[in-house]
Structure 1
Amino acid sequence: MRGPKAAKLTLSEREKDELERLARGHNIPQHHALRGRMILLASAGKSNAEIARDLHTCDDTVRLWRRRWISSQATSLGDLSVKERLEEHPRSGRPPRITAEQTCQLVAIACTPPSDHPTSHWTPRELADEVMARGIIDQISPRHASRLLKRRLSNRI
């Protein structure tokens, strides 16, 4: 059973040129190239199912990007470039409670030896307690302090 017909998508010459450049680019993130190819095929009159089959993706993804492209065409290319039109929208959700600056301070404390402790290294419990005692972070579990430290140090390597 066939569903509703996909919305018609037309491109200006400038949009088409930039999309083709993006779709062929080697230094372009592949998700941008794929989305560019979806839009080009949609402007050629292909259905969402045909595009999904050709690009080995799902219909819902093609439908989403067709809709987003059509809605973004109301904004001029001077205000919103082709590449910006193919960007993900910010995801909803709770913002992080611990900022990057607080994480840096936690790492700085972890990199200094504990002065008033008998051990030469911080334990996750001691580190969490110290960060809260100094008023850097209101509340943090030892496990989360350890996780932040581990993630931060693994990004250095």
Structure 2
Amino acid sequence: MGQHLRVNLSAEERQHLLHLVDRGSPPARTVTRARILLMADRSTGNTHTYRDIGSLLHCHADRISRICRRYVLEGLHAALVERPRTGAPPKITGDLEVKLVMPACSDPPDGRKRCTLRLLAEQMVILSHVDSISNVTVYQRLLIPV
């Protein structure tokens, strides 16, 4: 592991982090990052190593190191907020969403009581709207609008 970067929080930053931890309403990852920074803060005389902090907070020392490094190099906000993750773009957007929602809201096909997610996914493929799609993707798109 590389050289430790010393975390020296200002009084305002320390107060902000204490408020985040005490409030309990931010996401758990943000609260954990705040706790890491508070424990790594050298301005108050803390001498915890990354391994000590990791064992107390049930995190790996590498994670502690990354968060402290981001604080020192990029600031408090960068250390607390998760970076956007790369990934595959959504399969269903714009026009395709309309083509999915219309049959989902209409009457079910003959011989069926309701239109299932699997049936909607199969219809999207049969009608050549997409090459392939899972019923989970259909579920996520119908229930979690972007």
TM-score, scaled relative to structure 2:
0.72
Percentage identity across paired residues of the two chains: 24
The correspondence of residues 8-27 of structure 1 with structure 2, limited to 5 A, is 8-27=6-25
The correspondence of residues 6-155 of structure 1 with structure 2, limited to 5 A, is 6-43=4-41, 44-73=46-75, 82=76, 85-99=79-93, 102-113=96-107, 123=119, 124-130=121-127, 132=128, 137=129, 139-141=130-132, 144=133, 146-152=135-141
Q: Which blocks of at least 5 consecutive residues in structure 2 are unaligned?
A: none
TM-score, scaled relative to structure 1:
0.68
Distance 2:111 2:124 in 1: 12
Distance 2:94 2:77 in 1: 28
What is the aligned length?
136
Distance 1:41 1:55 in 2: 10
> Which has the higher mean CA deviation after the structures are superposed, 34-43 or 105-114?
105-114
